[in-house]
Structure 1
Amino acid sequence: MMAVFTCIAVISIGNSFLIMGTEKERISIFLGFLAGGICAAVILIYHFRILPKILQTRKMYKKFISGKILEIGTQENLLEAYPETHEVYQRVNEWINREKQMESSNRQAKFLALQNQINPHFLYNTLEAIRGDALEEGMESLASTTEALAAFFRYTISNRNFLVTVEDELINIQNYFQIQRYRFGDELSLNIRFMDNEAEIRTLQIPKLTLQPIIENSVFHG
């Protein structure tokens, strides 16, 4: 009886192990399928939803780095995806705007330079014609004023040097003063005096049109 009982006990324990082993296999298989399904779902979501957004954002980022202007919607998407690029984006936009302004200024400067090449000749010829007519009519005051006006415009427009001599500036303000005196008559007078070293001072160089605004301010504001 004892031996039979022992055998039965051993067999019973063996069956228990077999049952437990089968359940573990089933759980392992189930967990394997579950993990595989989760991985497949993650891959599908990444492929169809996340990956296109990453590729689109990367494409927009390349455009942004290359300096191309992005639309407002794409700007927001890019800055949302890459917050650290906000400062870089502002700098690139500022650089692009400066380049556009410089290009526009260069075009305007070239246009004005072309105008300055054409208009002065017409202006000088017209003033010279007026001066000639004034001399024929005996209007010496008008003739001298017209000559001063032509010289004033020639100095202001044609002379492109930044630095000029004091002598050149004095001649220019004398022409300017003669023009204003034709308007206001003998109410105006101009006296130029040097305390010492006059010859040396006349040869010194100063920025162009430094003295004329001073004389103009004196004429109109006393």
Structure 2
Amino acid sequence: MDYRLYYWNIPFRGVFVELLLHEVGASYQRLDASEIYPEKSLQIDSPGMAPPYLYDYGMQKTIAQLPAIMLHLAQKYDYLPRSAEEQTMALKAILDCGDVLMEVTRFYGLQMWDKAAWETFRERRLSRWMQLFEKTGREYGLQQDRGFMLGNSISVADIAVTALFGTLTHCYPALAADLNRQAPSLAALIQRIEQRPALADFLAQQRQHYGRAYCGGDIERSLQQVLG
């Protein structure tokens, strides 16, 4: 066993880590976040405020914060681009994904969605996020039938955007048309990534297990209401 991953029984942020672990062929045990959070969260190395947490058996240390976990695994398994510029862009992609998660859930459920607020966000912010990722990918050669986010090779950036938009459009199919319209090259990339042999079986099993469940709680119920 290479890792223990602590997260809730939903995809949301946890699927980012799981996709990367499956892509690199690492073995891991998935445990409920309640085994650490909140009571024991201050007892781990470099404690984090909230899940996911990843315990690395090799270094015998727990890592918190999703971007830190993704960067750790990307460095360890050579899923960072070669140049310093592209490595910076890979980190930016991960951080941008985190910002989208925060906005989609209205700061993780601090507020609930109503129809008017959601439609404004969908038309102005979410569409702009899609265009932003599309523009970045195309600047590095991404096209609808080939390429990756940051050049000719897969990187952690591709895994991150797939975890973000692949999960979002699976859980809320109405958003798939938005993605195809605003970011056609990105939409095609996500389909290619999801069909990779290391990921296809995992995603099929996960989606059978979770169905359309996304982030849980009242905020998910408000998303379901505004998206029909």
- TM-score higher than 0.5: no
More strand by share: 2
Question: Higher helix share goes to which structure?
Answer: 1
TM-score, structure 2 length as denominator? 0.26
TM-score (norm 1): 0.27
Larger radius of gyration: 1
